[in-house]
Amino acid sequence: MEILPIGRTSFGNAAHAGNTLSREEAHTLLQEWVKNERLQLHMRQVGHLMRRWAAEKEGLDEADQWRWEMAGLLHDADWDLWPEQHCRKIIGELEKRQVCPAVIRAIASHGPRYFGVEPETSMDKMLYAFDELSGLIHAYSLMRPGGYTGMDIKGVKKRLKEKSFAANVSREDILDACQRAAIQQDELIGFIIKHQGEVGE
């Protein structure tokens, strides 16, 4: 399916900077909009990775960690029911709910070659970086008897080279995202292996 550019690069209202949904509100939105359990899990995994990165690598406080997590948790919220409106639908919903522009912009920029919005902030870049690679590593965990236990970077990189494995995962986007975030692919893979298994099915 063709995804059209969003057509704008400004999101939300500066007066709403710092605003977030409550955890309950965000999870209710997720449950109402996303019926596909695999997609729900992916979004929770990316949200968790974003929170962990914000805490461990960015040294951010609890409020900022939640902003990062919320961006990950809701980044694909409209894909299940309204794929032709991805990411417009969730952007509009979060603007209506007066959510922080930084959170909305991170969601809008998580696929620059599809949506036409360039990742600029650390939050933007890390959401883009985690999205595709998270999916591939989860697919790899499902074929391993121990799941994430004992998984290593070498094994993930081997799967990355196999174009037929998790073929819907864009290797081009993974490479581009790592370059934009100025992070080595090995570091990103290691971080995901360490933390993604913490999210229950």
> At a CB cut-off of 8 Å and minimum separation 6, what does 18 contact?
63, 67, 100
Contact 105, 11 (CB under 8 A): yes
Does residue 1 belong to any structural domain of this protein? no
Does residue 6 belong to any structural domain of this protein? no
Does residue 179 belong to any structural domain of this protein? yes
pLDDT of residue 200: 79
Does residue 8 belong to any structural domain of this protein? no
Closest CA to 122 of 78, 43, 44, 64: 64
Nearest 5°: the CA angle 181, 185, 191 is: 90
DSSP one-letter string for 121-162: SHHHHHHHHHHHHHHHHHHHHHTSTTTTTT--HHHHHHHHH-
Q: What is the CATH number of the domain that holds 162?
A: 1.10.3210
Prediction pTM value: 0.96
pLDDT, tens only, 69-83: 999 999 999 999 999
Q: Which domain holds residue 113?
A: 15-195
pLDDT of residue 2: 59
pLDDT of residue 89: 96
- How many C-beta atoms lie closer than 10 Å to residue 10's C-beta? 11
pLDDT of residue 4: 73
Does residue 25 belong to any structural domain of this protein? yes
Residue 119, Cα to own-chain centre: how many angstroms?
12
In angstroms, rounded to a whole number, what is the distance separating the alpha carbons of residues 76 and 64? Answer: 20
Q: What is the mean pLDDT of each successive set of 10 residues along the chain, which is 201 residues long?
A: 80 97 98 97 98 98 98 97 94 98 98 95 98 96 95 97 93 96 97 94 67
Count how many domains the chain has: 1
pLDDT of residue 5: 87
